[in-house]
Amino acid sequence: MDINAVTGLLAAAVVAGTPLLLAALGELLAEKSGIINLGVEGMMLVGAVTGFIFTIMTGNHWYGFLAAMIGGSLLAAIHAFITITLKGNQVVSGLALTIFGTGISGFLGKAYQGLTTADPVHAYAIPYLSDINGLGSVLFNHDPLVYISFLLAIIFWLILYRTRWGLSIRAAGENPAAADAVGISVSKVRYFCTIVGGMMAGLGGAYLSLVYAPSWQENMTAGRGWIAVALVIFALWNPLRAVVGSYLFGGVEAMTFGLQIAGIKVSSFFLQMLPYLLTIIVLVIVTIKMRQEAGAPNALGFAYDREER
Amino acid sequence: MSNLKKTKKTLVLILALIFIASMVIGCGSPAAQDDEKNDDKAAEKFKVGFIYIGTPGDAGWTFAHDQGRKYLVEQIPEIETVYLELVPEGADAERSIEQLAQEGCNIIVANSFGYGDAMLEVAKRYPEITFLHCSGLESAENVGTFFGRIYQARYLSGMVAGAMTKNNTIGYAAAFPIPEVIRGINAFTLGAQAVNPDVKVKVVWSLTWVDAVQEKAAADRLIEAGCDLLAQHADTPAVQQAAEAAGIYSIGYNSDMRSFAPNANLTGPVWNWGPYYVKTVKAVMDGTWKPEEYWGGLEDEIVDLATISDKVPAEVIAQVEAKKQEMSNKEWDVFTGPITDQDGNVRVQEGQKLTDEEMLALDWFVAGVEGSPNP
């Protein structure tokens, strides 16, 4: 394998990891506030289809991305209403959301299969940075969404760990009763985080249908929503580790073909299994070492009811 | 607490509604879509039902079948057709085939390999109905199988590719390592070598039939590896789009994919099911139909080459046309020796030809293919 093939593979890992990163950041935020949303796959699909439809209708992919975020957030709002206001079971509601999202995206996109967008997203090389040998082409010669996604990861980290907002979010997820006692509206925080999470999932979906493979295909996320959920655990609920994890998982996806072309014989079936295997391994190691679900917000998955305090 | 109970009830209700809604929408698609809505007349009309693995809008496999269905209605206007789309293979298929049988279809066509068992099962219960299974292996009293020798068209598309590559490196994004796909890759490579002996064909497996994202990724890796022309055996136009974006040439598949890649796409092997449907439906209507395992080639026009782009020099087109004629006249077929495999072993001796059985079990690559037939 020559150096070009290697940098090509790394650049491909970044591109393949971007939809995962966007969706995982959203899920991470929601989980930090105490809401687990297993509807990521459904929200990504709805984002992918609404983004594609609006890009076709308006001829501008930025409207598409906006529509995708709205689409994803609408679905997330259903989840928020069921789990926060009605205090329903988060796992059940999330799973329902995935099934619902899969169905409705297929329904909405029926007439749009086999079309192409008139406004493909182009790569913009960042001046100076993209000239760095090797690293430049891996990180700084991509479409805008790639840059936005790694900026968002940093912003999410800063917000979560360096601001009062972040403290409120983490408090809502760790100890909602205490958060409530100091005057934080747990419901508001959780609503906000869940809905922003939906926006990010929608954006991740639209990345697939508008940038990666500009077209709409039923079920085109093909399980990436679930990888994003696994990724949050893999990253131990840290946005910066999520960046590393996304590119690692994206790298596995890119490698399936890279290795085949290089003539290195590793079963493609094995490679497709790797992200899940890595997540299981990380979970096992962390639980053995720390004797707890390291990094998982304490109140994750539990509805907060002031009266039951 | 009563308040909590109430919210739980509401929650259950809402979840139930979501489930019902998603079922109606998700599974609602396989509702039979009648071509004509004259219900009172429908009872007397001869009815042909189709079970589709994809949707007619997929621009690929099912699209080609649906074009065939439309052609059938054009040619025999007195019949009626219905189709069920996105029918999963396996247990669900049996229910869908049964549904069409109960709706009074005289013929039921299924367009994917995995429907075989379900179809044979339903066929036992409805001996008066004729069943046709595309790419199937097993026929019965009232079940026929049909497929086309697409490898012949692939050979022709390979000739175009071999003539148009500049660096003699062609990429081939393939779905699954099964004999049908391996046969196609071999035929394509032999075609390319016929006009350009130095050609190498790099193969990658995406392990999916319909996943635009994976196929695009496969195409991108092939381009990075130096391929200046891409071919595909998968059902989405993603490979064509990747070639268009990279400014290189491409060969499509299933249907004419020119619209997805106006500059890149040169031609492609295409399916043309219409004539077979017309012939077979007529035979069933006349009562002359017999169960058969049909595997037609260029001579029946069931497989063909999409219109060749004007970027291809006229003498290449003439060469392709001549070869096509030779195959249509059955004077020559693709797997005629001498053919050596990747390791240099002679697999087909000079003057010999692979039999249909050997072709249907093909599991080795011809020399010139880079990649493994067993990933």
Whole-angstrom distance, CA of residue A155 vs CA of residue B191? 55
Give start-end residues of each CATH 3.40.50.2300 domain in chain B.
Answer: 33-148+273-300, 150-268+306-370
Nearest CB partner across the interface for B236, out of A8, A215, A267:
A215
> What does the pLDDT read at residue B5?
57
Whole-angstrom distance, CA of residue A246 vs CA of residue A16? 8
What CATH number should be reported for the domain holding residue A283?
Answer: 1.10.3470
Grouped pLDDT means (10 residues each) for chain A, 309 residues: 75 92 97 96 97 94 96 97 95 96 92 77 82 79 91 96 95 94 95 97 96 86 90 91 92 83 79 80 77 74 80
Whole-angstrom distance, CA of residue B110 vs CA of residue B95? 13
Q: In this structure, what token pair is assigned to residue A91?
A: 């796992």
Tens digit of each residue's pLDDT (9 = 90 or more) over B236-290: 888 999 999 899 999 999 888 888 889 999 999 999 999 999 999 999 999 999 9
A100 to B371: CB separation less than 8 angstroms, yes or no: no
Q: Higher-confidence residue: B32 or B202?
A: B202
Q: Name chain A contacts of B212, Cβ cutoff 8 Å.
A: 213, 215, 217, 220
Q: Answer whether B344's CB lies under 8 Å from A233's CB.
A: no
Tens digit of each residue's pLDDT (9 = 90 or more) over B110-141: 999 889 899 999 999 999 999 999 988 888 99
The interface residues of chain B toward chain A in range 63-92, judged by CB-CB distance below 8 A, are: 63, 86
Nearest CB partner across the interface for A257, out of B59, B63, B217:
B217
Q: Could you tell me which of B173, B253, B267, B261 has the C-alpha nearest to residue B219?
A: B173
- pLDDT(B29) > 80: no
A260 to B375: CB separation less than 8 angstroms, yes or no: yes
Q: Answer whether A237's CB lies under 8 Å from A31's CB.
A: yes
B33-148+273-300: what CATH class?
A: alpha beta
CATH number belonging to domain B150-268+306-370: 3.40.50.2300
Q: Name chain A contacts of B7, Cβ cutoff 8 Å.
A: 86-88
A87 to B11: CB separation less than 8 angstroms, yes or no: yes
Query: Which residue range forms the structural domain that includes residue A277?
Result: 3-308
For A150, list phi and psi in degrees, rounded to 5.
-75, -25
Matching residue, tokens 């036992």: B124
Burial of A52: CB neighbours in 10 Å, binned 0-12, 13-18, 19+ = buried
Give me the number of domains chain A comprises.
1
Q: Name the DSSP letter for residue B341.
A: B
- Output Rg (C-alpha) for chain B, integer angstroms: 23
Q: What is the ipTM of this complex?
A: 0.80
> What does the pLDDT read at residue B20?
59
Burial of A194: CB neighbours in 10 Å, binned 0-12, 13-18, 19+ = buried
